Structure 1
């Protein structure tokens, strides 16, 4: 039997501890991080395995703030209902809300980042993003949107159930990224999609906040597969707020009773 099987090792660069110290990302947690690093900065560092610059931190934390809450979405409602059903299991209520992060809510962040990265990977983008004109980006966006339409697929990041004209988060995230010199190819392509899609789809849809957050995160260097995790991280704060509010001012019982008392039984086989 090989020595590696007798004495296996499990490498990690995240954290470790002994009787007197806790190490995190190569730092002494108590001496180097506590009081010196914000939670957003730490979250970036944990995933990227490098400390973000102040500019990167501003964009990243703006994204987390943008995704934290959006009212009584299904994720918030199910979290509140789960707490009502099992008030002794806060972790279950929080988990229930997070499990709803999919293609309609929160998952759009990943879907948009993945879509933009795929388009950019298949394009011959020469020079820096800043050196390419809007005409160049529009041409690439036009090809991408046309291909999606021909395939009968939605363009991730387009449209919003509430913000029909403009998602107020989108221009602010783009402006912050531009101010910090971090408006890269994903955001530029996303902007171009916003400009050209009406001529292809025959209607104008807003660039939504989840989509712009995916583009901004991709420009920060995060791979598409991890982007939904950041959306879930942000929404955890929002869900915790909903659950705290539910404890003080409950509405879940009203939601339950409203559905229960207005349910209409239709026997199988009956119209």
Structure 2
């Protein structure tokens, strides 16, 4: 193999449309970085890097609202609690943030991705009832609906109001919003039932209406929640506590082994 062929093969191995980096050149999706600095906000940069173009102002505002809504949910959220504990173990902030991010899985942090997939399926089939029945046959939990902590998630109404405005003004089509509201109606059809959309459902509506693929819903949530994780980890480092466990030392876990009782 010639040197030129080897060089071409290696260059092709790492070929990317995301960025072009050469001596004295930094381009992001074709935009020189010097043209983006001071002119482009972080939300628009996220869109640009993921989608390859810049969003319209109303699209950017919708995405930013979803990102703001998911920033933090206090130490009740395992990702926050774990990051705070990690911060007291002698690791750096990057390790503490990574520790919190790494627990954002299918159960904690993955519902937004799952809800986008659910909404996509309803939009494809046009049958909310049958789709919900299929999903509920696999699991009693429907992603994006109900909340273990809030009877009504306070983030739901303002997010959906923004989507309603965007639908009215032709910014988004509204098909995924209609699908989400159809699910709410099905869940609440029985007397005494009240299972409203939660943050994962409301942000899933936004991500889906804006055309983001379902896996990116989780990635966008990770970006959003990383802000809260960083803030909590930093606060914890300022308190000087060492080796913070999940419960105070004065409280001992219940013993279930021999002699328990």
TM-score with structure 1 setting the length: 0.83
CA distance in 2, matches of 1:119, 1:201: 24
TM-aligned CA distance change 1:47 to 1:160, over 3 Å: same
Equivalent-residue separation in structure 2 for 1:15 and 1:54 (angstroms):
23
Unaligned ranges ≥5, structure 1: 124-139
User: Considering only aligned residues, what root-mean-square deviation do their CA atoms show, in Å?
Assistant: 2.6
Could you tell me which of 164, 167, 170 is aligned with 1:178?
164
1:70 to 73, 76, 82: 73
Q: Report the equivalent of 2:120.
A: 117
> Which structure 2 residues correspond to residues 41-80 of structure 1 after superposition, within 5 A?
41-72=44-75, 73-80=77-84
Structure 1 residues 16 and 28 mapped into 2: Cα distance closer, same or farther (>3 Å)?
same
- Which structure 2 residues correspond to residues 254-269 of structure 1 after superposition, within 5 A? 255-256=245-246, 258=248, 261-267=251-257
Q: Unaligned regions of 5+ residues in structure 2, if any?
A: none
What is the aligned length?
Answer: 252
Give me the whole-angstrom Cα distance separating, in 2, the residues matched to 1:167 and 1:251: 32
Deviation digits for residues 138-193 of structure 1, max 9, x if unmatched?
A: xx3333333334455422111101111x2111121111122233252111110121
User: Closer, same or farther in 2 for the Cα pair 1:154/1:261, shift >3 Å?
Assistant: closer
2:155·2:199 contact (CA, 8 Å) conserved in 1?
yes
Q: Secondary structure, in 3 states, of the residue corresponding to 1:85?
A: coil
Partner in structure 2 of residue 28 of structure 1: 32
Counterpart CA distance in 2 for 1:21 and 1:206 is: 49
- Cα deviation per residue 1:27-56 (whole Å; 9 max; x = unaligned)? 1101x1000000111001111111111010
| 1:169 aligns to 2:155 (yes or no) | yes
User: What TM-score, normalized to structure 2?
Assistant: 0.86
